[in-house]
Structure 1
Amino acid sequence: MTTVIAFILMFGLLVFVHEFGHYYVAKKTGMLVREFAIGFGPKVFSTVKNETLYTVRLLPMGGYVRVAGDDPEIVDIKPGQHIGLTFNKAGEVNQIIVNNKSKHPDALVIEVEKIDLDHALTIEGYEINDEEKYSLRVNEKAFFIMDEKATQIAPYDRQFASKTVGQRALQLFAGPFMNFVLSVVLFCILANIQGVPVEEMRVGSVADNSPAQEAGFEPGDTVIEIDGQSISKWKEFQEIVRAKPNQTLDMIVVRGDEQIAVEVTPALIESPEEDIGQVGITQASEKSFVRSIGYSFEETYRWSTMILTNLGKLVTGQFSIDMLSGPVGIYDATDQVIKTGFMNFIMWTAALSVNLGIINLLPLPALDGGRLLFVGLEALRGKPVDPQKEGIVHFIGFALLMLLMIVVTWNDIQRLFL
């Protein structure tokens, strides 16, 4: 149960931060945000505030911000159609009743002759069974009423497509950007709790039953020499130990005012990429708020380059699709991480946030990066790509992503249960 709660909270945080980026820029640039959703599927909770429907949905596998103009508008009224109208105190139309007009006896029912809800915000038509013609002004925040559900109209200047190339690009980029911001914040919190790793080769802790413990290492020890080679940095120590599994190393350790000769044999740690040596010590750290800020950016950059390197290997065939993980695999990994402590869970969340940011920036259809690519093409061409063609590309891309998700999830299940 602990893992389930932790997984939902972690995924919820990652999705919320990502979607908040899209939401915030959309609001600031004047777009009408129809819905801010965490999760997919049936609604568990919903509320409306300041034009936006906020929902929490049953399946915590993602989320979305639905901006007016992203999809075809929900209601399309044609000339000749009968609609009901109600008015505000200024005499403007504030409700357009599409069906079930009998439930609104006070509404003015007209046959539409002309209607423009994008630019002029006007409706022209004739009252049923009457020759009187009406030319009516529509309030910019009027609502369609269909099946007794209200949906706010979206004048063109409130739609995604009406904004400049820069504003649209910023709105699309803001989601992944916020994932990088979250990673920096989490690494900064981690550094302020645990401390920032020092550069010099000083031991922070010694793992139980490890080669280092058997050799007599103690916290605070400083290694200055390995097999006659002088060292001063943790990175130097790490490179030598990793390269020599199952090989005895002669080290000189400084403890207090004395130097001690130590023999240690790194244990062999097998991995898909390469086998490495490990002695079971951690790097010493110190608490510094100023250094924690730099450390948080360094760690975010380090994880970013690691993820991009693995993506490059996936493209070149050095990395198999069987090694990818979906929600099931991430859940299992989260379960393993939680067992190692809350600090590692924070680090895991920060790493996943970087991963989510990078994946969403890939120039693939249906992802933020794919949509950014079309905005970039518009900037180069001086005119937008045909919305229908773009929609087809995104639809096909989304279908392929779902297929990939099914394959990856099946592989995760096989690894866990078969």
Structure 2
Amino acid sequence: MQHIVTLLIAIVIFGMIIGIHEFGHFIVAKLHKIQVNQFAIGMGPRILHFQKGETEYSLRLFPIGGFCSMEGEDESSDNPNAFEKKAIWRRMTVVLAGAIMNIILGFLLIAVLLCTSQKVPSTVIAQFAQTTDATTGETITAAESERSGLQVGDKIIAIDGSHIFSTTDLIYKLQTTDAKSFSVTVKRDGEKITIDPVTFHNDNTEGLLDFAVQGKSKNPVTVLSYAAKDTVATAKLIWMSLIELVSGKYSLQDLSGPVGTVSVIEQAASTGENVLERVQSVLNLTIFITVNVGVFNLLPIPGLDGSRFVFLLIEAVRRKPIPKEREAMVHFIGMAALFLLMILVTVQDVSRFFQ
């Protein structure tokens, strides 16, 4: 029963993320009066479909993709409402709209998540870990960062020159580095100061997180402000992960596809002592996935939106489009490579499942 519930949750998450992405392309195309021939959620055989006006809408069997097919997008057309007939800036906004909608969805879900919390987080140190001196019985600090010079009330702005937007940035920086000490820039009494070196170590837990941050009261300003910062932090985290993947820090074995993601969703859905905490856990994962989809689609990889945007930039510079046959071939090769990668990762996920 639990596996069925997890699968349903995964379908809802994938469907929402794919749907909002394709809806971004769709709604901006409609705003620019571009003819949309097909709007589909999912891939493969059609489960449901209907025609409304010029557009066929369909729900397909496999929730691993979707598409918004526009007139004159991949072939020549004499239709005045064809994609290729519109101004370059209009086509650029259509191409970018899907990824932007994924990032906006992440922003909105972060705001929703904050509304379920008692306080809005910050990067201001509220207190350090403490322990009791075995000899004197006095309460003393258990935080190496306090002994290094950080103080209660310090607002952490940057670590090793990397800007800290939210606690997402902070935790990622501390948990994914092999460094023993850091250069930390804080705002203290209205002034920026840099403390170097700073070592983070909690004597109680032996972990790096040796302090707690202040929570702000919830209101529209604090919620939306932090949601924006955390969206940027999540996008930055994904970008840094991609760089580390390319640089060789991570390998193909560290990647997960749809099957592996379902397994992670099952873990998230069972994390927490009550329903609210489990919902928060699933929301956190959904935020990461949708921002990931947005950022990844902006990369100039053939077959992705980022690559289509690059072709439009080249057209703007050359003042004439690249022949559609050549562009289509580039996108076909890119999509074939991405599908091959997905197959390899899926096989890897399935093998992990049986192991």
Per the normalisation by structure 1, the TM-score is 0.65
User: Larger C-alpha radius of gyration, 1 or 2?
Assistant: 1
CA deviations 1:152-187 (Å, max 9, x no partner) are xxx421211111111111110000011111111111
Q: CA deviation at 1:229?
A: 4.8
Relative to 1, partners in 2 of residues 1:234 and 1:343: Cα closer, same or farther, differing over 3 Å?
Answer: farther
Q: CA deviation at 1:332?
A: 1.0
Hey, which of these two has a bigger chunk of helix by percent? Answer: 2
Relative to 1, partners in 2 of residues 1:319 and 1:280: Cα closer, same or farther, differing over 3 Å?
Answer: same
| Inter-partner Cα distance in structure 2 for 1:354 and 1:375 | 24
**Contact 2:111 2:227 (8 Å CA) reproduced:** yes
- Residue 13 (str. 1) matches residue 13 (str. 2): no
| Inter-partner Cα distance in structure 2 for 1:4 and 1:280 | 38
Relative to 1, partners in 2 of residues 1:229 and 1:17: Cα closer, same or farther, differing over 3 Å?
Answer: same
**Contact 1:40 1:58 (8 Å CA) reproduced:** yes
Relative to 1, partners in 2 of residues 1:161 and 1:290: Cα closer, same or farther, differing over 3 Å?
Answer: same
| Gaps in structure 1 of 5+ consecutive residues | 74-117, 119-154, 204-210, 216-222, 244-263, 269-275
Relative to 1, partners in 2 of residues 1:266 and 1:322: Cα closer, same or farther, differing over 3 Å?
Answer: farther
**Which of structures 1 and 2 has the larger relative contact order (alpha carbons within 8 angstroms, sep 6+)?**
2
Give the equivalent residue in structure 2 for 1:183.
Answer: 106
Q: CA deviation at 1:415?
A: 2.5
Letter in 2 for 1:350: I
CA deviations 1:55-78 (Å, max 9, x no partner) are 1111011111011122448xxxxx
Relative to 1, partners in 2 of residues 1:229 and 1:370: Cα closer, same or farther, differing over 3 Å?
Answer: closer
Give the equivalent residue in structure 2 for 1:381.
Answer: 318
Aligned pair partner of 1:396 in 300, 317, 333: 333
Give the equivalent residue in structure 1 for 2:197.
Answer: none
Give the equivalent residue in structure 1 for 2:183.
Answer: none
Q: CA deviation at 1:201?
A: 3.5
- Residue 415 (str. 1) matches residue 344 (str. 2): no
**Contact 2:75 2:324 (8 Å CA) reproduced:** no
Give the equivalent residue in structure 2 for 1:346.
Answer: 283
**Contact 1:212 1:280 (8 Å CA) reproduced:** no
**Contact 2:122 2:213 (8 Å CA) reproduced:** no
Give the equivalent residue in structure 2 for 1:331.
Answer: 262
| Inter-partner Cα distance in structure 1 for 2:350 and 2:39 | 31
- Residue 196 (str. 1) matches residue 120 (str. 2): yes
| Inter-partner Cα distance in structure 1 for 2:204 and 2:260 | 30
CA deviations 1:184-222 (Å, max 9, x no partner) are 11111111221311444447xxxxxxx98999xxxxxxx
**Contact 1:18 1:178 (8 Å CA) reproduced:** yes
**Contact 1:192 1:289 (8 Å CA) reproduced:** no
Give the equivalent residue in structure 2 for 1:172.
Answer: 95
Which stretch shows the higher mean deviation, 223-232 or 386-395? 223-232
Letter in 2 for 1:399: A
CA deviations 1:20-71 (Å, max 9, x no partner) are 1100111111211111100011111111113211111110111110111224
SS of 2:302's equivalent in the other structure is coil
Relative to 1, partners in 2 of residues 1:292 and 1:213: Cα closer, same or farther, differing over 3 Å?
Answer: farther
| Inter-partner Cα distance in structure 2 for 1:280 and 1:7 | 35
Give the equivalent residue in structure 2 for 1:37.
Answer: 40
Give the equivalent residue in structure 2 for 1:372.
Answer: 309
Equivalent pairs, count = 301
Give the equivalent residue in structure 2 for 1:144.
Answer: none
| Inter-partner Cα distance in structure 2 for 1:213 and 1:401 | 52
**Contact 1:41 1:58 (8 Å CA) reproduced:** yes
Matches within 5 A, 1:292-371: 292-340=223-271, 341-371=278-308
Give the equivalent residue in structure 1 for 2:85.
Answer: 162
**Contact 1:337 1:348 (8 Å CA) reproduced:** yes
**Contact 1:197 1:286 (8 Å CA) reproduced:** no
Letter in 2 for 1:180: I
Give the equivalent residue in structure 2 for 1:265.
Answer: 203
CA deviations 1:100-150 (Å, max 9, x no partner) are xxxxxxxxxxxxxxxxxx6xxxxxxxxxxxxxxxxxxxxxxxxxxxxxxxx
Q: CA deviation at 1:313?
A: 1.4
**Contact 1:21 1:178 (8 Å CA) reproduced:** yes
**Contact 1:33 1:66 (8 Å CA) reproduced:** yes
Relative to 1, partners in 2 of residues 1:393 and 1:228: Cα closer, same or farther, differing over 3 Å?
Answer: closer
Give the equivalent residue in structure 1 for 2:180.
Answer: none
**Contact 2:235 2:292 (8 Å CA) reproduced:** yes
| Gaps in structure 2 of 5+ consecutive residues | 134-142, 160-166, 178-201, 272-277
**Contact 1:165 1:375 (8 Å CA) reproduced:** yes
| Inter-partner Cα distance in structure 1 for 2:223 and 2:29 | 32
| Inter-partner Cα distance in structure 1 for 2:148 and 2:322 | 65
**Contact 1:202 1:234 (8 Å CA) reproduced:** no
- Aligned-pair identity (%): 33
**Contact 1:304 1:358 (8 Å CA) reproduced:** yes
SS of 2:48's equivalent in the other structure is strand
Letter in 2 for 1:317: G
Relative to 1, partners in 2 of residues 1:265 and 1:19: Cα closer, same or farther, differing over 3 Å?
Answer: same
Relative to 1, partners in 2 of residues 1:212 and 1:224: Cα closer, same or farther, differing over 3 Å?
Answer: closer
| Inter-partner Cα distance in structure 2 for 1:12 and 1:212 | 46
Which stretch shows the higher mean deviation, 406-415 or 6-15? 406-415
**Contact 2:50 2:56 (8 Å CA) reproduced:** yes
